[in-house]
Amino acid sequence: MKKLRCALVGATGLAGQQFVAALALHPWFELTGLAASARSAGKCYMEALRKPNGLSGWLLPEPLPSRIASMPVVEGEALDLGLFDLVFSAVEADVALALEPIYAQQLPVISTASAFRYGEDVPLLIPPINAEHSKLIEEQRQQRGFKGFVAPKPSCTALGLAMSLAPLVEAYGVKAVLMTSMQAISGAGRSPGVVALDIVQNIVPYIPKEEGKVAIETKKILGKRGEPHAMKVSCTCTRVPILEGHTASVFVSLERPATVEEVSQTMHAWKGAELSQKLPSAPVRWIEIMEDPFRPQVRLDRDMHAGMATIVGRVREDAVLENGFKYVFVSHNTKIGAAKGALLIAEMLYAQGLIGSSTNT
Ligand SMILES: NC(=O)c1ccc[n+]([C@@H]2O[C@H](COP(=O)([O-])OP(=O)(O)OC[C@H]3O[C@@H](n4cnc5c(N)ncnc54)[C@H](OP(=O)(O)O)[C@@H]3O)[C@@H](O)[C@H]2O)c1
């Protein structure tokens, strides 16, 4: 099979590096173009990553593939779109707002940025949950005159929350959700990122714009296409001194009563949309339930199923909320929460014929 040619914009960033690693041996997609800011343009990837003091900027434990290390990096505006079948975008929202519509004129754009997440003609896809929301793409093309489209992935925190809620929505209905997140510093990226002096031995109780994003996105993901779910969502998002992996404490009020065993079993057995189970990046199980009350622990559990699982533990009844339950989850913010979650969307859209067919690109 001929692989689809992919450009990666924001290739030098935290999410960008995760894309490089995830695409290295991908069966359907091949990374053939790299872009970043003017600071990196004109250098090979390895040199674009390097810090002014000479430190290599490659942050992942796996080695940087040599083919990619020597690839040239161009400026985002300078990408020759005729050379690619799709674009992965991993830039900040303000940059995405300017660049992604330019790419989408011609190509499918799968984005980790928030710039287009809230448009009514933009699906917020998590393949096991809402694969049929991709029908919005045709509407987007007609309304915006795109030959391609923009398909953003949800925020890394909304993603973990929505994954843990999806089986409960399906089985019992969900009325209300209260969540407090403990988010890793890598979630803030590197430009400017979180300063060590602010976060070491500390918890910062506010992440600008995050709580509103989580509430809106969770309802959009779990709702019907074009109609947000009616559940109430309230959250507090905090930054903690953890490198990778978000932890959250969730309280949920169900529409119908259930037992702890039923709730745990429903989450554990949840398979999601059939199409999503066959995608190359799909884990063997979307949700793992841990019985040990000391788990999940972010350092031990974030990489389960290659960072693609939502790990849930401490499932208990809650006596304050009606039909109340509470639990803790861990979700990998730069893997399923960013690059690999975006890759999963691309795989689904390819399987649905929305990427890669000559009529669409
Ligand atoms: N980190 C996470 O856990 C996570 C999770 C979910 C979603 N996201 C989202 O993913 C996006 C990227 O996040 P990140 O954490 O990877 O950020 P980051 O580490 O700060 O990286 C930003 C990237 O954008 C590039 N860039 C900056 N200005 C540009 C321009 N004008 N044209 C082209 N490229 C430009 C940078 O290139 P230079 O190196 O040349 O400056 C760098 O490659 C953000 O929208 C973020 O909200 C991140």
Compute the distance between CA of residue 333 and CA of residue 18 in angstroms, rounded to an integer: 11
Q: Please, which residues bridge with residue 1 across strands? A: none
pLDDT of residue 1: 77
Which atom from ligand 1 is nearest to the alpha carbon of 334? Answer: 3
Tell me the per-residue pLDDT of 89-116, one tens digit each, with 9 for 90 and over: 999 999 999 999 999 999 999 999 999 9
Tell me the per-residue pLDDT of 218-274, one tens digit each, with 9 for 90 and over: 999 999 998 999 999 999 999 999 999 999 999 999 999 999 999 999 999 999 999
Mean pLDDT of 342-349: 98
Compute the distance between CA of residue 161 and CA of residue 183 in angstroms, rounded to an integer: 13
Among 112, 185, 186, say which to mutate for ligand 1: greatest number of ligand atoms within 8 Å of CB: 112
Mean pLDDT of 312-339: 98
Which residues line ligand 1 at a C-beta cut-off of 6 Å?
9-16, 35-37, 39-40, 76, 90-93, 95, 112-114, 156, 186-187, 189-191, 333-334, 337-338
Per-residue pLDDT band for 358 (boundaries 50, 70, 90) equals low
pLDDT of residue 192: 82
Look up the pTM and report it: 0.97
**Cα dist. 155→172, 221, 303 in Å?**
25, 11, 18
**78: Cα within 13 Å, side-chain hemisphere:** 13
Distance from the alpha carbon of residue 227 to the mean position of ligand 1, in angstroms: 30
- Evaluate if residue 361 carries a pLDDT over 50: no
pLDDT of residue 292: 98
Q: Is the CB of residue 91 less than 8 Å from the CB of residue 114?
A: no
What is the enclosing helix (H) or strand (E) of 330? strand 324-331
pLDDT of residue 81: 97
Q: Quote the mean pLDDT of the chain.
A: 96
Compute the distance between CA of residue 36 and CA of residue 158 in angstroms, rounded to an integer: 26
Share of the chain above pLDDT 70, in %: 99
pLDDT of residue 357: 73
- Evaluate if residue 360 carries a pLDDT over 60: no
Compute the distance between CA of residue 13 and CA of residue 42 in angstroms, rounded to an integer: 17
Distance from the alpha carbon of residue 284 to the mean position of ligand 1, in angstroms: 29
- Evaluate if residue 359 carries a pLDDT over 60: no
Query: Domains (ranges, CATH) in the chain?
Result: 4-154+339-351 (3.40.50.720), 156-333 (3.30.360.10)
**Cα dist. 341→21, 99, 276, 277, 286 in Å?**
13, 21, 12, 14, 12
List all residues 6 or more positions away from 308 whose beta carbon is below 8 Å from its beta carbon: 281, 282, 283, 286, 332, 335, 336, 340, 344
- Residue tagged active-site, from 6, 156, 235, 237: 156
If DSSP codes are grouped into helix, strand and coil, which group holds residue 48?
Answer: helix
Share of the chain above pLDDT 90, in %: 96
- Evaluate if residue 289 carries a pLDDT over 80: yes
Per-residue pLDDT band for 200 (boundaries 50, 70, 90) equals very high
Q: Is the CB of residue 166 less than 8 Å from the CB of residue 311?
A: no
- Evaluate if residue 324 carries a pLDDT over 90: yes
**Cα dist. 22→5, 8, 334, 342 in Å?**
15, 12, 11, 10
Mean pLDDT of 277-290: 97
Tell me the per-residue pLDDT of 158-170, one tens digit each, with 9 for 90 and over: 999 999 999 999 9
Mean pLDDT of 10-27: 97
- Evaluate if residue 145 carries a pLDDT over 60: yes
- Residue tagged active-site, from 133, 229, 246, 332: 246
Cα 356 to chain centroid distance, Å, stands at 22
Mean pLDDT of 334-350: 98
